[in-house]
Amino acid sequence: MWNGDYSFVLSNLVKKDFKVRYRNMSLGVLWSVLNPLVTMGALAFVFTIIFPSSAHPHMAVFLLCGLVPFNFFAMAWNTGTGSLMDNYSIMKRVTVPRELFPVATVLGNCVHMLIQIGILFAFTLGSGLGVNRHWIWLPYVWFMEIVFVCGLAMATSAINVYIRDTRYVVESVNTIMFYFVPIFYSYDRVPPQIQDIVHYNPLAAMILALRNILWSGIAPGWPLIGKLTLCSLLTLGAGFLLFRRLKAGFFDHM
Amino acid sequence: MAVIEFQNVTKCFSRSGGSKLLRVFLQERLQKRHQDVFCALKDVSFRVEEGESLAVIGANGAGKSTLLSLVAGLTRPNEGRMEVNGKVAALLELGTGFHPDLTGEENVYLNASILGLSRKRTAECYNAIVDFSGIGDFIYQPIRTYSSGMVMRLAFAVAIHVEPDILIIDEVLAVGDQSFQAKCFERICELKRAGKTLLFVSHVPEMVKQLCDHSIWLEHGRVKAAGPPEEVLAAYGATG
């Protein structure tokens, strides 16, 4: 029944999130820069001074390859889960397609991610690791992560309308996820039996792909890319279908 | 062909508000307890033909907003049949999506897009919207600096530029000073003259009599009376 302009609403919602977040902060966009730097600094300190056996060459790049995708993943999934309830007042009054809310939230987080990718590149080039031909995979890999998070956000935002605890469950999962993806340890440390399973987690696959491309300078590898693509697309499909299914009851349950 | 048709429509809500915490959700599943329901509309039937305007009157809690939500397509009836033919614009609230930290201009674009206006049309109407609202240079300030009257005027200015076949208005006309109210009323009359269909909730008898061809009186979710506005208003007023 709503036949408005999808892209217009989407761009307005994304701009709103961005402006609202930064307009009232004195340091503004700088916070997006400080956050990964501080975390990386702390991790680098712990894993070179306190656990020296865990040190890697070009530690900053090694850590940022994990931190940047993880920050985006956690923020986007957290805010995406709450996106429908946060827009409760709009949903109660206008028939704007509900899918736009989680998608707009995820895309809004992409803007912050771009800033952090800039930092990642700065450190990569600064460490002397240079650009190589495998960098061509980077846009594809990032795109798959966005697809993956959109799928998750659609699913959990819909469930969150019915069961309000979902937000907190997702936050807890993200906290634990920090340890279960190879951010501050290398993939070789994962026991062989689990190694394959880790690949099926698109976030882990993506971090490994980034590390291969930027830190090691090698190709991400087909099994990795294949699993990343497959799981991301499946998640998007499942999330979308679940959302469609639950959509009808949103109004009555808010 | 009727543009809006309700046949024996019933709409109920779960009394617990529907929002579940995990433990309540599990409790209800395990104990198989019958959920308390509250029926906002019971067996409601009416028709609105193209170009007609219908007033819906009733006390608070009678089910008027639920009826409008149904026509706006926000939810479906539990029982009965509902048919709505045509593009609907529902002004159930002014300034949907308005955020206090955004400027008037940014809020106009956001609100317009939410109400279904395209990018192109919003750009075309932008100046007309700002003029109609009478906000002036404040349009570049965040709306938390506005008075509530200014916010409402801006919101109405956007809403009035949506071009629907069916316009639903829920008690939102009582904003602004006399001259602004008159401007709004005139715009709504224009839409009516242009042959648009109107569904109108108001407690102001004069507006109901002036704008509407038919009226229904809702009480506790049921249609208590239906007919020309004067009759229905008289019956409603008689209950004191």
The pLDDT score that the predictor gives to residue B175 is 65
Of A79, A116, A102, which Cα lies nearest the Cα of A150?
Answer: A102
Residue A176 pLDDT exceeds 80: yes
Is B96–A89 a contact, with Cβ atoms under 8 angstroms apart? yes
Residues ≥6 apart with Cβ < 8 Å to A52: none
What is the distance between the alpha carbons of residues A249 and B74, in angstroms, rounded to a whole number? 10
The pLDDT score that the predictor gives to residue A36 is 81
Most confident of the ranges A48-52, A188-192, B121-125, B224-228:
B121-125
The pLDDT-based confidence of A177 (bands split at 50, 70, 90) is: very high
What is the distance between the alpha carbons of residues B107 and B123, in angstroms, rounded to a whole number? 13
Q: Which two tokens stand for residue A104?
A: 């707009």
The pLDDT-based confidence of A221 (bands split at 50, 70, 90) is: confident
What is the distance between the alpha carbons of residues B39 and B78, in angstroms, rounded to a whole number? 10
Q: Which two tokens stand for residue B113?
A: 């897009």
In chain B, residues with a C-beta closer than 8 Å to the C-beta of A9 are 113-114
Most confident of the ranges A90-94, A228-232, B15-19:
A228-232
pLDDT in tens, B121-152: 999 999 999 999 989 999 999 999 998 888 88
pLDDT-above-70 percentage for chain A: 98
* Smallest CA–CA distance from B88 into chain A, residue: A1
The pLDDT-based confidence of A191 (bands split at 50, 70, 90) is: confident
* Smallest CA–CA distance from B95 into chain A, residue: A90
Strands B222-227 and B214-219: antiparallel
In chain B, residues with a C-beta closer than 8 Å to the C-beta of A5 are 113, 116-119
Whether B207 and B174 have beta carbons less than 8 Å apart is answered as: no
Q: Which two tokens stand for residue B174?
A: 């009582």
Q: Is B73 on the interface with A (CB under 8 A)?
A: yes
The pLDDT score that the predictor gives to residue A99 is 94
Say what angle helices A138-162 and A222-247 make with each other, to 10 degrees: 30
Of B165, B180, B221, B128, which Cα lies nearest the Cα of B52?
Answer: B165
The pLDDT score that the predictor gives to residue B33 is 60
pLDDT in tens, A117-166: 988 898 888 888 878 888 889 999 999 999 999 999 999 999 999 988 89
Average pLDDT over residues A223-239: 93
Nearest by CB to A3, which of B74, B113, B116? B116
Low-confidence ranges of chain B (pLDDT < 50): none
Average pLDDT over residues A78-87: 94
Q: Is A88 on the interface with B (CB under 8 A)?
A: no
B37-49 sheet: strands from edge to edge: B37-49, B2-14, B79-84
Most confident of the ranges A42-46, A56-60, A233-237:
A233-237
| CA A228, A233, A234, A239 torsion-angle sign | positive
Q: Which of B39, B74, B158, B165 to mutate to test the interface with A (most CBs of A within 10 A)?
A: B74
Instruction: Look at residue B89 and give its three-state secondary structure.
Output: strand
- In angstroms, the separation between the Cα of residue A154 and the nearest Cα of chain B is 18
Q: Is B163 on the interface with A (CB under 8 A)?
A: no
In chain A, residues with a C-beta closer than 8 Å to the C-beta of B90 are 93-94
Give the residue, A84 or B188, on which the prediction is more confident: A84
What is the distance between the alpha carbons of residues B209 and B224, in angstroms, rounded to a whole number? 18
Is A3–B110 a contact, with Cβ atoms under 8 angstroms apart? no
Q: Is B240 on the interface with A (CB under 8 A)?
A: no
* Smallest CA–CA distance from B85 into chain A, residue: A1
Is B115–A24 a contact, with Cβ atoms under 8 angstroms apart? no
Instruction: Look at residue B99 and give its three-state secondary structure.
Output: coil
φ/ψ of A112, rounded to 5, equals -65, -35
Give the residue, A10 or A54, on which the prediction is more confident: A10
Is A4–B74 a contact, with Cβ atoms under 8 angstroms apart? no
What is the distance between the alpha carbons of residues B138 and B134, in angstroms, rounded to a whole number? 9
Nearest by CB to A1, which of B13, B69, B73? B73
Is B69–A251 a contact, with Cβ atoms under 8 angstroms apart? yes
